[in-house]
C-alpha cells in the first residue's frame, strides 16, 4: 500500500518544527541585506540533495540505507554508517537540550530543566517504541489536529508587517554569495539538513512515491521565507538582529482582539514543539535501527530505554545555552557529511546497482 501522504506530511512536519526557532536568527546574522539570497541558496541545496538522495534510493526496490550500504561491503557500511549513528544521537541530545531551554525560557520558568528534558525524552521514547508505522500515523493525526492552529497563526503573523522593510533588496554580499562559508549560514543549514534522511530508512515498512516528496518540498520554500521575513518586516533589520528568537518575538506582537487568549504565541510554539517531538521520535527510531543492526542481540524496548537514559544523562551534562550553540556548531561538520556525502554515495551505489542489474538481465 502506498503511503506517500503519510511520508509527505511527516517530511513537512519535521521541517516545520525545525524552521521557526533558530533558523531565522542564523539567516539574519549571515547577511544584513537581501535575506532571500541565503534562503534560496539553502533551499536549492536542500532540493538538490533531496533529489540526489531519493534518486539513489529509487534504484533499490524497497531496501533501506543499511541494506544498500551492506550490499557494498560490511567494512564500507560500518565506516560510513557509524558517523551517521553518532550524528543522530548528537542531534537528539543537542536538540532536546536546546528545545527544553527554549521551553523553559518562554513559558515554563518555574519548572526545572531536567523535568522538561525528561518529558521530551519520555514522549520521544514512547512514540518511537510503538513502531515506525505508529510514528507516521501519529504524524498524520497531529497534522490534522495541530496544522489549523499553525496555519491560523501563520496567516495572522503579518499583522504588524511594514512592507518597506523589504528594501533594499540586495547588496554585493547577497549577490556574490560571499557568506557561504560563514558560520551563521552553515549553522542555518540544519533546518534544511535534518529532516530528509529518514527517507532512506523507512522503505520496506512505509513505501512512498519519490514524486510526492519532491513536490512537497516546494511547500517548504514559503515557510522558510516567512520565518525570516515576518520578523524582518515587523521590526526592521537593526532591531531584529538583536533578538534571540525573532520569529517568536514577532508573533508575540500580534494581537487578536476576538480571541480569549492573549498569547497565541504559546499555542503556536507548542504546536511546533509537538512537530519536533515527532521528529525526535523518528531520529530515535533511526538510531535504534542502526544500533540494533550492529548489535542484534539487544531487544528493541530495552535498547530504547537504555538509549533514552543515556541521552538524558548527556543532556544534563550540558550546562547552558551557550554550550548548546557551541555543540551545534561542532555538529555542523558531521551534519554536512551526513547530508552531502550520504546522498551522493547512495546515488553512486544506485547507479552501480542499476548497471549490474542491466548486465544480469
State the residues that interact with other proteins by CB under 8 A: 103, 107-108, 111, 115-116, 119, 123, 126-127, 130-131, 133-135, 137-138, 140-142, 144-146, 259-263, 266-267, 270-271, 273-274, 277-278
CB of 336 to other proteins, least distance (A): 31
Burial of 289: CB neighbours in 10 Å, binned 0-12, 13-18, 19+: buried
All cell numbers assigned to 123: 514522549
Our CB check for other proteins shows the closer of 82 and 256 to be 256
Q: Name which of 212 and 237 has its Cβ closer to other proteins.
A: 212
DSSP 8-class letter at 275: H
Q: Which is nearer to other proteins, 263 or 353 (CB)?
A: 263
SS (H, E, C) 122-154: HHHHHHHHCCHHHHHHHHHHHHHHHHHHHHHHH
Q: How far is the CB of 36 from other proteins (least distance, A)?
A: 33
CB of 277 to other proteins, least distance (A): 7
Dihedral sign computed on CA atoms, order 128, 131, 132, 137: negative
Residue with smaller CB distance to other proteins, 146 or 185: 146
Cβ proximity to other proteins: between 68 and 277 the closer is: 277
C-alpha pair distances (Å), 304 with each of 83, 284, 315: 19, 8, 16
DSSP letters along 272-325, please?
Answer: HHHHHHHHHHHHHHHHHHHHHHHSTTS-HHHHHHHHHHHHHHHHHH--SHHHHH
Residue 250 CB, shortest distance to other proteins, in Å, is 18
Q: Tell the smallest beta-carbon distance from residue 67 to other proteins (Å).
A: 24
Count of Cβ atoms closer than 10 Å to residue 33 Cβ? 14
Shortest reach from residue 202's CB to other proteins, in Å: 15
Of the two residues 24 and 139, which places its CB atom closer to other proteins in the complex? Answer: 139
- For residue 245, what is its C-alpha cell? 528568537
Query: Is-contact 69 76, C-beta < 8 A?
Result: yes
Name the residue nearer to other proteins (CB basis): 271 or 346.
271
Contact 121, 137 (CB under 8 A): no
Determine the length of the chain. Answer: 361
Contact between residue 207 and residue 62 where contact means Cβ atoms under 8 Å apart: yes
Assign 62 to helix, strand or coil: coil
Q: Which of 324, 329, 195, 247 is nearest to 35 (CA)?
A: 247
User: C-beta of 110: minimal distance to other proteins in Å?
Assistant: 8
**Cell numbers at residue 99, please?**
528545545
Report, in Å, the least distance between residue 92 CB and other proteins.
17
| Nearest one of 352, 347, 340 to 83, comparing CA atoms | 340
Please identify, using beta-carbon distances, which residue of 150 and 229 lies nearer to other proteins: 150
* Contact present, 92 and 311 (Cβ < 8 Å): yes
Residues 6+ apart with CB under 8 A from 172: 178
Query: To the nearest whole angstrom, how small is the minimum distance from the Cβ of residue 348 to other proteins?
Result: 36
Residue nearer to other proteins on the CB measure, 108 or 327? 108
- Kindly list the distances between the CA atom of residue 134 and the CA atoms of 205, 210, 219, 302, in Å, as whole numbers in the listed order: 11, 21, 24, 19
In whole angstroms, the minimum distance from the beta carbon of 274 to other proteins comes to 5
Q: Which is nearer to other proteins, 126 or 218 (CB)?
A: 126
Amino acid at each position: 500500500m502506498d503511503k506517500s501522504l503519510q511520508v509527505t506530511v511527516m517530511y513537512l512536519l519535521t521541517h516545520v518544527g525545525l524552521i521557526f526557532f533558530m533558523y531565522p536568527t542564523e539567516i539574519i546574522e549571515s547577511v544584513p541585506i537581501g535575506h532571500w539570497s541565503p534562503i534560496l541558496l539553502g533551499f536549492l541545496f536542500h532540493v538538490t540533495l533531496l533529489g540526489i538522495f531519493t534518486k539513489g534510493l529509487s534504484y533499490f526496490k524497497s531496501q533501506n540505507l543499511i541494506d544498500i550500504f551492506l550490499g557494498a561491503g560490511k567494512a564500507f557500511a560500518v565506516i560510513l554508517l557509524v558517523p551517521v549513528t553518532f550524528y543522530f544521537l548528537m542531534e537528539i541530545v543537542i536538540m532536546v537540550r536546546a528545545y527544553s531551554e527554549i521551553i523553559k525560557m518562554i513559558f515554563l520558568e518555574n519548572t526545572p530543566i531536567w523535568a522538561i528534558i525528561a518529558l521530551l525524552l519520555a514522549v520521544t521514547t514512547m512514540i518511537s517504541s510503538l513502531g515506525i508505522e505508529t510514528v507516521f500515523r501519529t504524524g498524520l493525526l497531529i497534522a490534522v489536529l495541530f496544522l489549523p492552529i499553525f496555519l491560523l497563526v501563520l496567516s495572522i503573523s503579518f499583522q504588524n508587517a511594514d512592507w518597506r522593510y523589504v528594501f533594499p533588496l540586495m547588496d554585493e554580499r547577497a549577490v556574490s554569495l560571499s557568506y557561504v562559508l560563514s558560520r551563521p549560514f552553515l549553522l542555518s543549514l540544519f533546518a534544511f539538513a535534518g529532516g530528509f534522511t529518514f527517507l532512506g530508512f523507512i522503505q520496506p515498512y512505509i513505501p512512498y512515491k519519490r514524486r510526492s516528496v519532491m513536490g512537497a518540498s516546494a511547500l517548504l520554500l514559503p515557510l522558510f521565507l516567512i520565518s525570516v521575513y515576518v520578523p524582518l518586516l515587523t521590526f526592521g533589520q537593526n532591531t531584529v538582529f538583536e533578538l534571540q528568537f525573532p520569529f517568536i518575538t514577532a508573533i508575540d506582537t500580534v494581537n487578536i482582539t476576538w480571541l480569549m487568549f492573549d498569547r497565541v504565541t504559546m499555542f503556536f510554539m507548542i504546536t511546533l514543539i509537538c512537530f519536533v517531538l515527532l521528529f525526535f521520535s523518528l531520529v530515535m527510531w533511526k538510531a535504534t535501527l542502526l544500533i540494533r543492526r550492529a548489535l542484534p542481540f539487544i531487544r528493541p524496548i530495552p535498547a530504547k530505554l537504555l538509549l533514552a537514559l543515556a541521552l538524558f544523562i548527556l543532556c544534563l551534562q550540558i550546562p547552558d545555552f551557550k554550550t548548546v550553540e557551541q555543540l551545534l556548531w561542532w555538529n555542523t561538520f558531521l551534519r554536512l557529511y551526513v547530508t552531502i556525502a550520504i546522498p551522493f554515495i547512495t546515488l553512486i551505489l544506485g547507479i552501480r546497482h542499476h548497471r549490474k542489474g542491466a548486465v544480469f538481465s
